[in-house]
Structure formats: C-alpha cells, structure tokens
Chain A
Amino acid sequence: MTATVAVTTDRSQLAGLLHDALEALERGDEAGWRRQVDALAAARARTLVDGLGRLARDLAQALDTLPAAPAQGGLDDACARLDHVVTMTEQATHRTLDLIEDSRAHVAQLRAGTLDAAQTATIDALRENLREMALAQSHQDLGGQIIRRVAGIVRGVHEGFGALGLPPADGEQDRLRAVGPAVAGLDTGTVGQDDADDLLSRLGL
C-alpha cells in the first residue's frame, strides 16, 4: 500500500516536471527547461541514492559498529570477527587432533600385547575410526577458506559505498540485540560467568 502511494506520488511529480519542461521549451525559455530537466534527473536519482543509503546503513548495522569505533570501525570489526572464528576453530581442531594422536598411541600400545582375533578386529576398528575423525577435521580448512572469502566480499562492498560517498551513518545501538560470542579486544562491556553470578545474586537471584 505504502509502495503504491509512493509510486503514484512519484508519477504525478514526474508528470508535473515533464509538463513544466515542455512548456519552458515551447516558450523558448532555455534556462527554464534545463532547470526542469535537471530536477527530473535528480528526482529519478534520489530513489537510487535513498536505496543505496539504506543499504549502507543496513550494512553498518550488520557489521555491528561498536560505540567508540572510528569511521572505518565497522569493517575492521567485521573482518576481525571473521578472523577470530578461523583462529577459534583452528585451536579447537588442534585440540581434537592432539586427542586423536594420543588415542592412536594408546591403541598402538594395546596392539603390542597378546590379542585374540576379536580383540584385534576391535583395535583395527578403533584405528579406522580415529583416522576418519582426523580427516573429518578438514572442515576447519574448508570453513576457514569460505570465511576469508566472505571477509573479502564485505571489504569490497564497504569500499564500494565509500567510493559513492556513502559512509554508513551511525545507527542507534541496541544494547539488547543478540550478537553472538564476545570477541576479545573487540567487544566491550561483556562479562564472565563469575561476574554474571555476582550480578544475578545482587539482583536477588
């Protein structure tokens, strides 16, 4: 409904401008018809500029610009967050691989003992499972590559808006909006479990 009204207004405004331009042209009013045509062009461009402005603001919000961040904070913040995800999964994957390697050593030790056929089969199955578990950790590499690519896209879009002179406007910060895990050095004002417990007990819980 709102869109229909906007289109109707847009159309009648355009018709008015066209009429005025035509009349000025017929009168031989050079400056007059040029002014009307310029107004016409500006009216058409405004929709596009408004749309881009909205996109730029949406992007800024999506990037979760921090309260005290400098002008380019949104971009740095978003890319730092993505880098953090790669680091976090890398650490978790190394931890898993540590445990897998340790388990393999245990299995090798068991295998060195005297075993019947059934026990040998069980140990072989365990070895096979451990190998598959290690291989499944390749998600860290694959996911990491995708994340780095997304970071490149974010950077490109942000730079594109910058080139159009559309720096993301400072949106209102909604302190209650869910933002996922806190990233050290990026997120301010987050607390640990102990602090949370203290706070809750002070609130009578």
Chain B
Amino acid sequence: MNKNIRILVVDDFSTMRRIVKNLLSDLGFNNTVEAEDGNSAMAVLRQDAVDLVITDWNMPGMTGIELLRAIRADPKFRALPVMMVTAEAKREQIIEAAQSGVNGYIIKPFTAQTLSEKLGKIFERLGGAA
C-alpha cells in the first residue's frame, strides 16, 4: 500500500478534521489536505491531485452526498474513491450513498480499527492501483 497517497478530509467541524488526520497519521498516511464543505472540496479537487476523499455528510453549503454526486458526475473524478464518515445512520441514507457510488461508509462515533479496516478494503478493491 502506497502511504504517500494524497487524502482530502472534508468536514465542517475543524476538530473532526484534526481527529481524522491524527488517525491517518497513526496509520502512516501523512499526505493530507482539508476542506470544510463540498464546495471547497471541489475547489481543492480541481487544482490538486487527490487519491482519496474522506467526507462528512451533514455540512452547510454543499453536503457530503452532494459532493459525492458531483464527484461521480465529473468524468475526471469518476474513479476517485470516496469514503463517508458521518453521524447519518438511517438505512435510506446509507442506501442513497451506496447508490451514488460511495466506496466506504463509517458511522460516527467510530473506532481507529474501523477506519483502518475500511481503508484497507478500499485499497484492496482498487487492487493496488492507488
């Protein structure tokens, strides 16, 4: 697994961005960039090469699900892996995310092990392409 991949962490709460970055750092991923909602995330994606997006759902401006749809609608980012880390836990929401093309879904609060496992699964499915 390439630990130098660039990971975009999207959450409107600066504390949660920091917590996710800390956990990623523990797992050996130190190449991270941040955004506070879907709009600023899209701006980052357009100007920066990103290998993985980890996003919250409930954010003012552009939400995480809207960001996911925008990413999948753009031919440039269609294959970009997106993982949701969110407190949204309704069946319909998870189904909607899956149908919109999410690659992983973690419900807050989560454990370090869950994050590690879901990341592992994403990389596994990518077949080492990352």
Contacts and interface: CB of A to CB of B under 8 A. Distances in A.
A binds B: yes
B22 to A, nearest CB: 5
Interface stretch (A48-56, A57-65, A133-141, A187-195): A133-141
B49 interface: no
B111 A135 contact: yes
B128 to A, nearest CB: 27
Interface stretch (A7-15, A17-25, A90-98, A161-169): A90-98
Interface in A86-120: 90, 93-94, 97, 100-101
Give chain A's interface secondary structure class: helix
Contacts of B15: 90, 93-94, 97, 137-138, 140-141
A46 B108 CA distance: 47
B18 interface: yes
Nearest to A127: B26
Interface residues of B, number: 17
Contacts of A131: 22-23, 26, 112
Nearest to B26: A131
A140 B111 contact: no
A134 B13 contact: no
A140 B18 CA distance: 12
Given A97-B22, A131-B26, A138 B108 contact: yes
B18 A138 contact: no
A73 interface: no
Interface string B67-99: 000000000000000000001000000000000
B34 interface: no
Interface of A: 90, 93-94, 97, 100-101, 131-132, 134-135, 137-142, 144-145
Given A135-B19, A138-B15, A138-B110, 10 more contacts: A90-B13, A90-B15, A94-B15, A131-B23, A131-B112, A134-B22, A140-B16, A142-B87, A142-B108, A144-B13
12 contacts: A90-B14, A97-B15, A97-B18, A101-B22, A131-B23, A132-B112, A134-B22, A137-B19, A138-B19, A141-B87, A142-B109, A145-B87
